[in-house]
Structure formats: structure tokens, C-alpha cells
Structure 1
């Protein structure tokens, strides 16, 4: 998905939201509205809605009507969620762009905002990694097409390592540190990976992984 140009932060009250203030601190265009004043029909293209999910459950029992209404109009993330009440895997499966829990450290909340506004998903690395492994296993069982195989054969060993780190949720600086290379080199490798897999960004690369046999280095 393309990057978002504006963040709409919904709040329980009209007082300033900490999430909105944090977003403004990293130069994200923010519009804060109370839930009672917000009309989902007013959501414009390239806007992401941040919905406060305080003290609510989200899992196999279903999705609240209010949240479903917002999601029907555009991309949504939830924040202030309780870990014991919100199933991150379920949230991902129903299409939420990310989940920010109440106990997240400040630096992680800032990272979450930057990630979702860039058009990427924000979920725990362990979840993303396990889902990628699950999808890859399914592809092994179902078989795969020749185009995907050709792309994998074109990938270098280093590119395959980078793909695995991307699947684990690592950012460019983290990839550079893990492989002892520069951030500039990481960008160059990612450009090559995107070209070979016909992906435009990390989200499409994750989809490619879902549809392809394993890209782990031999």
C-alpha cells in the first residue's frame, strides 16, 4: 500500500491526544477528532484512521460494529489496546493496519507511527515471522509457479538473507547491523530485490513471500 498523507486520530474526549502529539513531533500531518464528532464518510483517500481501543476485546468473538463501520470506509489502526484483550493475529487477519498496545514504550510508538504512515503494517515481529513461515509451508504443500521459481533463482545469497530479515520485521539500519554492511548497501540490495520479485515496497515483498517457495539461503 502507498504511504498515507494524513493521520486521523480519534479520541474518547476532546482533550489533546498523546498519539496525535507524538505524530506531530515527527512531522506527520494529524487531524484529531472525538469519536462522537467523527463521520466515517468524511475519510479522504490516503488517510489513515487511528481508533482508540480502550478496554475492549478483539478476537474470535467478533468485531465491534463501530470498528467495522470505520474499516468499511478506509484503512484503520487501533491504539491503547490491552495485550490480554486484543489478539494481534486476529487483528491482522481482519485487515487492521496495526495494533499499538497501551504498554508500548515511547520509541516503539514513534516507530509504529512512522511504519504505518509509510504504508507498512505494524505488528510484533514474532507474529509476522510465524505467519511468513506458515505461508511458505502452505506454498510448499500447494506447489508454486515457474515465475516465482525464476525470481528465487535470480536472488543472491545476501538478498535472500535480507528478505528473511524483512520478513522478521527488521528495518534498514537493523539489517545493516545484522549483516555488517552499510545502510546504503541495504537500500541497493532492496532495490534489486524489488526488481527481481516485481515488488514496489515491503508490503508487496511480503505478499510475494506468501506466494513463493522459501527464499532462505541454502
Structure 2
């Protein structure tokens, strides 16, 4: 996904939130809005939305209507969430860009903001890998998808390697270091990968993997 150039922080108070101040400290353009102001706000694709989730639960038992409405307006992540109340795997499957917990260290919050504003997802690598594993397991009992294999065969060797690293949860900078290429080159490869797989972002790329037969696709990716 393309980088975001503005951060929208939803809050119930007029005083600047810590998240807003942190974002401004690393030169991110921030609009802090009350819920009523947010409802009137026109959200563009280049805006990332921070949704407060203090003391609330997110899981199979239900999703708050206001969160659903927020996600319908634009790319959304949760902040001030409680670890024991929010399942990151469920949040990822919902399409949330990330989860910032209340007990996150300052440096991790800053990293989360930088990561998500760059267009990447912010989740632990174990969560990303777990999602891939789950999708592939679901495909073992399904038939072979020739359209997906054709897409795989269009990929270059470098692009296949990058897909494997994305599936493992690697971010652009980590991929660049692993492959000894620049971050700019990684972005160029990802743009090509998204086009060939008809994916718009990392989440859709992971879901694209689901469309392939895990045995045949994995064999093709490593060759």
C-alpha cells in the first residue's frame, strides 16, 4: 500500500493525546478529532486513522459498530488497546492496519507510527506467519488453482524471494538488508508483485497465497 501523508487521531478530549504529540515529534502531520468531528470529516485514501480502544474487547464475540463505521471510512489501526482484550490475529483478519497497546514502550510506539504511515502493517512477525500458516492449511483440502500458478510463474526469482520474506513478516527495511538491496528497490519489486498478483497491499498478497495450492505454489516459489 502507498504511504500515508496524514494521521487522524480520534479522541474524546480536546487536549492533545500522547499519540498525537509523538507523531508530531517525528514530523507526521496530525489531525486530532473528536468522534463527532470525525463523523463530519471527509477521509481520503492517503489518511491513516487511529481509533481509541481503551478497555474494550475485540474478538469473535463481537465488533463495535463504531469501529466498523470507522473502517468503512478509511485505513484504521487501534491504539491504547489492552493485550488481554484484543486478539492481534483477529484484528489482522479484520483488515486493521495494526494494534498499539497501552503498555507499549515509547520506542515501539514510534516504530509503529513510522511503519504504518509508510503503508506497512504493524503486527508481530509471529502473527503474520501464523496467518500464512492458517491460510495454507485451509488450502490443503482444496483444488489446484491454475490461474494462481500462472501468476506465480510471471514472478521473477527476486520477487518470489520477497514474497517469502513478506509472508514471514519482514518489513521493507528488513527485506532490503536480507537481500542486500535498497529499500527503494524493495518498493519497486513490491509494486510489480502487487500488479502481477492483483493485490493492493500486504494483506491482499497474503490472501492471494490462499488461492494457491500450498504444495505446488511453494515448489514454484523456490525455483
Match of 2:51 in 1: 51
Query: Secondary structure at 2:103's aligned position in 1?
Result: coil
Question: Does 1:209 pair with 2:209?
Answer: yes
Query: Secondary structure at 1:23's aligned position in 2?
Result: helix
Shift of 1:80: 1.0
Please say if residues 10 and 38 of structure 2, whose CA atoms lie closer than 8 Å, have aligned partners that are also in contact.
Answer: no
How many pairs align? 216
Match of 2:171 in 1: 171
Match of 1:74 in 2: 74
Shift of 1:114: 2.8
Please say if residues 14 and 34 of structure 1, whose CA atoms lie closer than 8 Å, have aligned partners that are also in contact.
Answer: yes
Please say if residues 40 and 73 of structure 1, whose CA atoms lie closer than 8 Å, have aligned partners that are also in contact.
Answer: no
Q: RMSD of aligned C-alpha atoms?
A: 2.8
CA distance in 1, matches of 2:185, 2:5: 28
Structure 2 length-normalised TM? 0.80
Flag as ranges the 4+ runs of structure 1 deviating above 6 A. none
Shift of 1:144: 3.4
Match of 1:10 in 2: 10
- The answer to which of 19-28 and 188-197 deviates more is 188-197
Shift of 1:202: 3.5
Please say if residues 41 and 73 of structure 1, whose CA atoms lie closer than 8 Å, have aligned partners that are also in contact.
Answer: no
CA distance in 2, matches of 1:190, 1:44: 26
- The answer to which of 38-47 and 78-87 deviates more is 38-47
- Structure 1: runs of 5 or more not aligned: none
Match of 2:145 in 1: 145
Structure 1 length-normalised TM? 0.81
- Structure 2: runs of 5 or more not aligned: none
Shift of 1:185: 5.6
Match of 2:37 in 1: 38
CA distance in 2, matches of 1:90, 1:82: 14
Match of 2:111 in 1: 111
